[in-house]
A and B are shown apart, each in its own frame.
Chain A
Amino acid sequence: DGGITQSPKYLFRKEGQNVTLSCEQNLNHDAMYWYRQDPGQGLRLIYYSQIVNDFQKGDIAEGYSVSREKKESFPLTVTSAQKNPTAFYLCASSIAHLETQYFGPGTRLLVL
């Protein structure tokens, strides 16, 4: 079965801690994206990558970092600099940049 997987489903962060959210796809898609979803707001773009070893900041990149060392993987690190990290994080991929995006199941991040 081809698809996008995100792990963990729930993640708890302590003050001052960095945490990493996993996103893996076996769709052979070149482009991958990270969005954040907050109640009552639309999804907002954090980072995106059009190709391996390249990524671009989205609208709300401050406090986040990413890497794209493999085509299948696009992990997101929420750093201690992100002061309001509680949200639902969604990873997406598309066969190429500008094509239709398909989403993973999401990771809910909570702060202890």
Chain B
Amino acid sequence: EDQVTQSPEALRLQEGESSSLNCSYTVSGLRGLFWYRQDPGKGPEFLFTLYSAGEEKEKERLKATLTKKESFLHITAPKPEDSATYLCAVRMYSGGGADGLTFGKGTHLIIQP
């Protein structure tokens, strides 16, 4: 069964302490991997789309990378405003079936000042 697993479930860092969040997937026929940020009580905010192994994208303190089995969201020198839940989602080749995104459960990130 296709599956998206994010780890860790929760992560607490000190301000300036760099780390990485993981998203592993077991889908067949990947057609895109997406990273979103979600603040409490709000809708997810789009961050990155990755399509092929080896691809990397950066935005401010965030960098997303993709391999054939997983993606990492690297956070460099985070600030308290980076605190949020980070969601990973994949789109797979559906062959005509339901064709939305399959989401992981998210990583809840807290950056302490």
Chain A residues within 8 Å of B, Cβ to Cβ: 4, 6, 33, 35, 40-45, 48, 56-59, 90, 97-98, 100-106, 108
Q: Which of A4, A44, A101, A102 has the most CB of B within 10 A?
A: A101
* From B4, B34, B43, B106, contact of A90 by CB (8 A): B43
| Among listed B58-66, B71-79, B96-104, interface-contacting one | B96-104
A-side contacts of B34, CB under 8 Å: 100-101
A-side contacts of B101, CB under 8 Å: 43, 45, 101
- B100 with A33: CB separation less than 8 A: yes
Q: Is the interface of B mostly helix, strand, loop or mixed?
A: strand
A-side contacts of B104, CB under 8 Å: 42
- A58 with B46: CB separation less than 8 A: no
Known: A42-B104, A43-B87. A102 touches B46 (CB 8 A): yes
Q: Give the complex CA separation of A102 and B38 in angstroms.
A: 12
Q: A42-B102, A42-B105, A43-B89 are in contact. List 9 more A-B contacts (CB 8 A).
A: A4-B43, A33-B100, A35-B100, A42-B87, A42-B89, A42-B106, A45-B100, A90-B44, A103-B46
- B41 with A45: CB separation less than 8 A: no
Kindly provide the distance from the CB of A46 to the nearest chain B CB, expressed in whole angstroms. Answer: 9
A-side contacts of B49, CB under 8 Å: 100
Known: A100-B34, A100-B46, A103-B44. A48 touches B100 (CB 8 A): yes
Known: A90-B43, A100-B46. A58 touches B98 (CB 8 A): yes
Q: Give the complex CA separation of A40 and B4 in angstroms.
A: 14
